[in-house]
Structures are given as structure tokens and as C-alpha cells.
Chains A and B, each alone.
Chain A
Amino acid sequence: MMDANILSNLWLGFQVAVSPMHLLYCLIGVMLGTLIGVLPGIGPVATIAMLLPITFNLSPVAALIMLAGIYYGAQYGGSTTAILVNLPGESSSVVTCLDGYQMARQGRAGPALATAAIGSFFAGCVATLVIAVAAPPLAEVALKFGPAEYFSLMVLGLVAATVLAHGSLIKAIAMVVFGLLLGIIGTDVNSGVLRFTFDVPELSDGIGFVVVAMGMFGTAEIIANLEQGENREVFTAKVGRLMPSKEDFKRIWAPIMRGTLLGSFLGILPGGGALLASFGAYTVEKKVSRYPEQFGKGAIEGVAGPEAANNAGAQTSFIPMLTLGIPGNAVMALMIGALMIQGIAPGPQVMNEKPQLFWGLIASMWVGNLMLVILNLPLIGMWIKLLSVPYRYLYPSILTFMAIGVFSLSNNPFDVLIMAIFGLLGYLCVKLECEPAPMILGFILGPLMEENLRRAMLLSRGDPFVFVSPSKPISLGFLIASAVLLVIVALPALRKKREEVFVEEPK
């Protein structure tokens, strides 16, 4: 019964996804995603933010299909740059640099690229199924959530976001709280009071998320790149034979399976997504490998596992967004923004009210993955050419598109000014080793959290223990999970491990 339902739903989804218009937007999305994935210094957050105002002219299905394609397409593109240039084209391919680049130096760039593509494709297929199977029951449960459950779930999400930040745990939590505070700016929905707007009329609706994301991830990134100077060494001549050998296949199938499973799981967690997944998978592969000494020196498992994991994680991170209306990471927050532009309130009801949108999006992910694997390998030559474009041409172009995107949000120069200010703040945070990602998540969830806190407290007549009372086992469970997660991360032994993983970044 259940399975038949999933099949008929997927069938509906594929009918939507293969309509010529949607195929076209899917193709645009995955190509654009690969492009920005290949280019270091611009990621899916800035790209999706730039395109958000434009999606207003599209149908909701086309808009989401295209934006989703950018996210998982970027996972494919990011690995190309990691392997050939030793630069993470995408933050989630940082670990691919470790072994992928070493393989390229040994003249095995082809098999490394093919392994990344095969791993990503397999993971993409499995993750699509995971979404189809896991989303409906989750949405069912979520329909019963009250404000207390939502509040505790968001606490869990924010705690999870601090896990993937490097360095000091306290600083990561502080950045989350900083983000929550910035989210308060604007009109208080309950009292109509203007909070922290300092008589600036543009602030009465709050600071736009797109503007903050563009500043913290866009301009700040460009400034940081400019101070480093250009230093790229591209392995163009040595890509050579693409197909991995029989021996390679024997070594990669297990890491791909493990990476897919781990990535699918970590993607669902609030605060998770592609980045956490790839780091996790690398650590696991190094642990279980029969050749741990080869890691960092060109172990093919070190490419296969993380690449499968980051693509799986990128896709399953849609689950909390689609079923609960809660963004697990910055990209998902933009997806929610895209839904709201279309007049769709995100939440568990989307699946029942807009089955074409929901299942069409899921089916399009499979179609998009197929396009990526077919198009990507033959197009590698083109991506390599693109990588030899000097940064001094790229960054003014990126900046122009960002400025247009932000300006077009409300045709107001004030938004561009705010973007520049957040660029400065983002740069300061980089210098002080404070991660912007947890802050962005706090910023997105701030208003939702306050709203649910207020409602829960009103319903409980001011009893703060409502969140942990036995009558609310789900809320209690979320909070216990958060506490356990915090303790685990704070434990000295694990903390050292976590630092070790992050220290392995390429020089």
C-alpha cells in the first residue's frame, strides 16, 4: 500500500519533471550550479540569492527545480576544481582536495574526476529515494507539532549548526545568538512595535535574508580572496583516461555506499547538509580503510566517500525544509524565500496541497543528476578553460551580478548599503575566526523561534517547563538530543578529533 503510493507519487513527479519547460530549467540550474561550483569564490548561497528576484517570473515548480539544481550541481562542479587545482570550488569539497589533488599529481586526474561523478550520481539516486520514502511520514508527524515542538526542533537545529563550525564551540554558539538578535530587527508582529530600526524606514520590514547572505558570503569572500593573491596551478594536460580501473572500482564501491548512507543521514539533521556530510565521510573512510597511510597521498576512497556524501547530504537537506518548513542550512532558507515569493507558505501542508510541486521537485533531482553525469565528464575541458580565467576579471563580474540582484529586491540603494555593511562584518568575523554559517542560520530562525516561544509560553500560562514536560515527549526528545550533542562536542577528546579533521585543510 505504502510502496504503491510512493510509486504513484514518483510517477506524478516524473510527469512534471520531464515536461520540456521543466527539463530546460533543470538543465539551466545544473549547468549554472556546475559553473559556480567550479569557480572558487562564489557558492550556491550567493548564486541562489542573486537569482531569487528573477524567479518571481517563473512558475513555483520551475523556480524550485532550477534553484535546487544549482545546489546539487555545485557539488559536482566543486569536486572538479578540488581535484585539478587543489582549491575547494565549493566549501563542501574541501576534503576532496586532500586526496583528489594528489591523484591528479600522480597523473590520475581522470579516474579521480570519474569517481567523484559516479559517487555523486549513485548518492543522488539513493537520496532521491530517501526523500520520497522519508518525507511523507515526517510531514504527517509535523502536522501534529505545536509551538513547543517547533521551538525545541529549532534549538536542535541551531545546536547542530554549531557542530559543523570550526574552532571554539562557545564562539559558534555566540554567533548563533548574534544571528538571532539580528533577526529581531524590524516590526514586532505581536505588538506592532518597531524594534531596533533607529527610525530608518527601510528597516521596518527587517533586514532581508538575501542581503545578509550576499554580504557575509559574497562580498566578504571577495575581499578575503583579494588579499591572498592569485596562485593557481591547473593540471590540464594530465586528465587523460577517465574510467577508473577494475582495481579502482573494487576500492570505491564500499566508500560510495557508506558515504551515501552517512550523507543522507547527516543531510536530514537540521544544521546539516553537504559540508558536514563530506567531512564526516572522510573521517569514516580514513578510520575503516585498510590503507590509512595512503590518505592524503592520493587514496581513491578519500574522493569516493566524501563526494558521494556531499551530494547525498545536499539532497536530503531538502527533507526538513519540505516537510517542516524549517531551513537546515542557508541554501534551504533561500528555498523557503523562493516559496514565499510565490505565495506558498512553507510547512507540512505543502506536500498535500501542492503534490505536483513537491513530487516534481524530487523527480527533477533524479533527472538533474542524470544530466550532470552525462554532461559533466565530456565538458570537463570547458570547465578547465574557465578555471584559467584570472580572478581579476571574475570578481568585478560577480560583484556586478550581486549588486544587481540585491538592488532589484526592492529597487532601493539602501539594500546595497546593508550588503556592504554585512560584507565588512563578514570580513571582521573571518579575521576573528567566527564562523558566519551559524549566524546566518540564527538570523533565519530568529523570528520563527520568538513566535513559537511566545505561543508556547502563552499556552502553558508562563510555565517554562512546558518544553521538557512528559506530556510533550517530542519536544523533550529534541532538547535531550541538543544537550547530548552539545556535551559530545564539548568533550575534550572529541574536540581534539574535530580539530584534527579541520586541520587537514589544504595549505
Chain B
Amino acid sequence: MKIKSPKDFWAGLMFIGVGAFFVVWALTHYQMGTAVRMGPAYFPVLLGGLLAFLGLLVLLESFVLEGPKVPAFAFRPLILISVACVAYGYLMKPLGLALSTVALVVISAYGGHEFKWKEVIILSLLLVVFSVLVFVKGLTLPFPIWPAAFD
């Protein structure tokens, strides 16, 4: 058997995996109940089974129908953009809005095509000022601006 449509092959595997996981986890952890009084497992098992079945169809189709290859992943933006968001979230409480905004801008800018320190510093300063004025002063969101140690 030769995989003719790699995109469908992997998508099919993904659907089967997710569907099967929901079915197995629900069956082993929650009550099934009956059709009249459905337990917490009923709906997930129903849907998980359906998803796995649809995944199987997609998988089988991938051996029959021609389809395009899975394009290469751009790992640099993928990783850096994700890290930038997560860093922002987890730095907010210890370091405050100003420094976490700088961290987000620097890390995410590093995931782009061009990285110029001067531009990035100016942009992050602008965004810090804007965030403080609009979100903290204007909309009174309860964000700390500076690191907790300074207060």
C-alpha cells in the first residue's frame, strides 16, 4: 500500500488518535449511563467513536486519492511565537506589564524575517507606553506595571 495523499493520511491518523483517546478515557473514567439518563461518558463515547470512524475514512481515502504533500513546517516562527505568548503570561505576575511586553516583542520579533535591535526596542517601548495608558490607566485592568520586588 502506498500513501497517495500524505495530508489526508496524517489528518486521518490525528482524528483516529483523538477520537480513540476520548472513547477510551471516557469509558475507563466516567459512567456510561443509559440513553434515557445519559451518564458523563455517553456523549464523549458517541462523538469519539464518530471521530475515529471519520478519521478511518480519511485514512483509507489517502491510499486511493492523489493529494499534495504536507508542506514543511516553519519551526522558527512556530516555536518563537508560541514561546513569546507563554513568556508574557508567566512573566506578568513576577515582572510586571512593562518587562513582559518587552520580552514578548523581542522574542516574537526574533521569529520574523528581519531583526534589528533598534527597531525592536523602539517598538517595544511604544507598546509598553500604549498598554499602560490604554489598558492599565484607561480601562483599569489590574496589571502590575513594574516587577513585584520594586513595590
A interface residues (Cβ-Cβ under 8 A, vs B) = 53-54, 57, 168, 170-171, 173-174, 177-178, 180-181, 184, 188, 190-191, 193, 195-196, 219, 222-223, 226-227, 229-230, 391-393, 395-397, 399-400, 402-404, 406-408, 411, 413-417, 419-420, 423-424, 427-428, 431-434, 450, 453-454, 457-458, 461-462, 464
Contact = CB atoms under 8 A, between A and B. Distances in A.
A223 B36 contact: no
B134 to A, nearest CB: 9
8 contacts: A170-B61, A171-B11, A177-B19, A190-B40, A413-B89, A416-B85, A416-B88, A450-B43
Given A170-B58, A184-B44, A431-B70, A399 B85 contact: yes
Contacts of B92: 407, 413
Contacts of B7: 431-433
The 3 A-B pairs of least Cβ separation, nearest first, read: A416-B89, A413-B89, A227-B74
B90 interface: yes
B101 A219 contact: no
Contact of A219 (B18, B43, B85, B119): B85
B92 to A, nearest CB: 6
A404 B135 contact: yes
A226 B15 CA distance: 27
B70 A432 contact: yes
Contact of A399 (B25, B34, B104, B119): B104
Contact of A395 (B15, B71, B89, B112): B112
Interface of B: 7-8, 10-11, 14-15, 18-19, 22, 25-26, 30-31, 34-40, 43-44, 47-48, 50-51, 54-55, 57-58, 61, 70-71, 73-74, 77-78, 81-86, 88-90, 92-93, 101, 104-105, 108-109, 111-114, 119-120, 123-124, 127, 131, 135, 139-143
A403 B104 contact: yes
B126 to A, nearest CB: 8
Given A396-B127, A400-B105, A177 B54 contact: yes
Q: Is the interface of B mostly helix, strand, loop or mixed?
A: helix
A174 B114 contact: no
Contacts of B57: 170
Contacts, number: 182
Given A195-B30, A413-B89, A397 B10 contact: no
Contact of B113 (A230, A423, A431): A230
Given A411-B142, A462-B36, A178 B89 contact: no
A177 B89 contact: no
B103 to A, nearest CB: 10
Contact of A427 (B40, B70, B78, B111): B78
Contacts of B55: 174
Contacts of A193: 30-31, 40
A168 B47 contact: no
B108 to A, nearest CB: 5
A402 B84 CA distance: 12
B139 A54 contact: yes
Contacts of A184: 22, 43-44, 47
A169 to B, nearest CB: 10
A219 B81 contact: yes
A396 B104 contact: yes
B109 A417 contact: no
A165 to B, nearest CB: 13
A190 B119 CA distance: 54
B147 to A, nearest CB: 16
A70 to B, nearest CB: 17
A210 to B, nearest CB: 14
Given A196-B22, A416-B89, 16 more contacts: A168-B58, A174-B11, A174-B15, A177-B50, A181-B44, A223-B81, A226-B74, A396-B127, A399-B81, A400-B127, A404-B131, A407-B88, A417-B89, A420-B83, A431-B71, A434-B11
Contacts of B30: 188, 193, 195
A413 B8 contact: no
B108 A396 contact: yes
A223 B84 contact: no
A450 B111 CA distance: 41
B58 A171 contact: yes
B89 A457 contact: no
Contacts of A174: 11, 15, 51, 54-55, 58
Most buried by B among A403, A417, A424: A403
Nearest to A174: B54
Contacts of A453: 38, 43
A168 B15 contact: no
A420 B15 contact: no
Nearest to B107: A396
Contacts of B82: 219, 420, 423-424
Given A173-B54, A407-B92, A399 B84 contact: yes
A226 B43 contact: no
B70 A457 contact: no
B89 A226 contact: no
Given A171-B11, A392-B109, A399-B84, A181 B40 contact: no
Residue among A397, A404, A450, A454 facing the most chain B CB atoms (10 A cut-off): A404
Given A226-B77, A400-B104, A403-B85, A170 B54 contact: yes
Nearest to B38: A454
Contacts of A450: 43
Contacts of B124: 396
Contacts of B8: 168, 171
Contacts of A433: 7, 11
A226 B111 contact: yes
Contacts of B15: 174, 178
Contacts of B90: 413, 416-417
